[in-house]
Amino acid sequence: MPSTDDGLSEEEMQVYLDGTFNSYIFGFFIHGIYTGLYAASIWALATNCISKTRIYMGCLITILYTLCTIQIAVAWIELRTAVVYGTSVQSRYDLIGPPLPLEVTSVVASALNIIVADCTIIWRCWVVWGQSWKVVVLPIVFVVCGIFCGIKLVVHQYMVSSGDDTVTKWAVATIATTLGTNVLCTTLIITRIIGVARRQCSMLGMGLRTYRGVLEILVESAALYSISYLLPMIFYPLSGNGYMFTQMLVYPITGIAPTLIIARVASGQARPEESWHRPSSPLDFRGVSRTHSTVMTTDDIVHRDCGRSASVKSKGRERSSVLECEGPSSSHERVALQ
């Protein structure tokens, strides 16, 4: 079989093109699911009471969706160019790489998407831990280091003619900082959720052994985000094209994980922020329940009194209407009888 400049045979190029085509289709499918989730989240934010916080949340998930769509659009152009204009296996293999402007656009969009997603997860970790800055100091340091490593990666890859080893080192450093942020925030959020749930379980009989509890851990901790970065590290050393599917999965999951958190908050399914601030004792819960029952009892009394007053008013109207119908003669007759 003829060989190419890269040292690949035609059969090896076909295997590479097959994996690339299937992984791109898989990425487009996941992006379609992401589109539905984004639309549902925007609907949940718009239909309820609109506030500045909800507007900020809507802008945040819109930025994430736009950046992810840019990456998918570049992949679509790349695949379309190779399929439409490629007349042979060799030509399709040569056209599968995007032009330099599109590649830079995709890299910048991917970097911004990761930064926004990491900041969103750090914000949620900060909220879950009662707005404690001590907890999120290390994740913030990871994000700053990741930004620095990403800038160095882009500079060495597109502006400085350096060897492959330098680019690989900066790429590994960028992935490591991003993965460190994800794993650390996920662990912190899961630890906090389990601690709060156990405390409430001992006081109110509520725990995490339910579908809602498991869903809370998966969504609030952004576990999908961490898993999406762990999978490429597992599949990349293996033989085959499995790493291509995990790589295409990272793009939409980077936006899906924060969008799920915001959708959960917007729909009112998340825990109230007051439950994260301080540990509550059983006495506090009893006081809350007593206050709640007192309020309910007061409401019942108000409704009952309103009902009584309404009935008294209706009876008064009926009595006055009867007196009007009887006329003055009937009134004189009653006086005479008395």
Whether residue 47 is found in the same domain as residue 132: yes
Domain that holds residue 314: 282-338
Q: At which of 280, 299, 327 does a domain end?
A: 280
Same structural domain, 115 and 32:
yes
Same domain as 287, residue 168: no
Same structural domain for residues 201 and 82?
A: yes
Answer yes or no: do 330 and 247 share one domain: no
- What are the backbone angles phi and psi of residue 142, rounded to the nearest 5°? -60, -40
For the chain (338 residues), the mean pLDDT of every run of 10, in chain order, is 61 89 94 94 84 88 95 93 88 86 89 91 88 91 92 81 71 86 88 77 54 65 81 78 87 89 75 55 38 38 42 47 44 40
Cα–Cα dist 251/60, whole Å: 16
Is 142 inside a domain boundary?
yes
Q: Tell whether 295 and 152 lie within a shared domain.
A: no
In a domain, 87, yes or no: yes
Residue 306: inside a domain:
yes
Shared domain check, 324 and 251: no
Long-range contacts of 33-36 (CB under 8 A, 24+ apart): 33/252, 33/256, 34/65, 34/68, 34/252, 34/255, 34/256, 34/259, 35/65
On whether residue 134 sits in a domain, the answer given is yes
**Structure confidence at residue 152 (pLDDT):** 87
Residue with tokens 């995709």: 106
Domain membership flag for residue 5: no
At residue 159, the pLDDT reads: 75
Give the pLDDT of residue 277: 60
Residue 2 is predicted with a pLDDT of 43
Number of domains in the chain: 2
Find out whether 303 and 297 touch, Cβ atoms under 8 Å. Answer: no
* 332 inside domain: yes
Per residue in 230-286, pLDDT (tens digit) is 888 788 777 778 888 988 998 899 999 888 888 887 776 666 555 556 554 433 333
Q: Which two tokens stand for residue 28?
A: 């487009």
332 and 203 within one domain: no
The reply to whether 16 and 105 lie within a common domain is yes
Q: How many CA atoms lie within 13 A of 29 on its CB side?
A: 7
Q: What is the largest CA-CA distance in the chain?
A: 128
**Pick from 234, 253, 280: which residue ends a domain?**
280
Q: Which of 254, 280, 306 lies at the terminal end of a domain, its last residue?
A: 280
107, 85: one domain = yes
In contact, 89 and 124? CB cutoff 8 Å = no
Which pLDDT score, from 0 to 100, does residue 271 have? 60
Query: What pLDDT sits at residue 73?
Result: 94
Q: Are residues 218 and 261 in the same domain?
A: yes
Give the pLDDT confidence score for residue 155 in this predicted structure: 84
Residues in the chain: 338
Task: Specify whether 136 is located in the same domain as 25.
Answer: yes
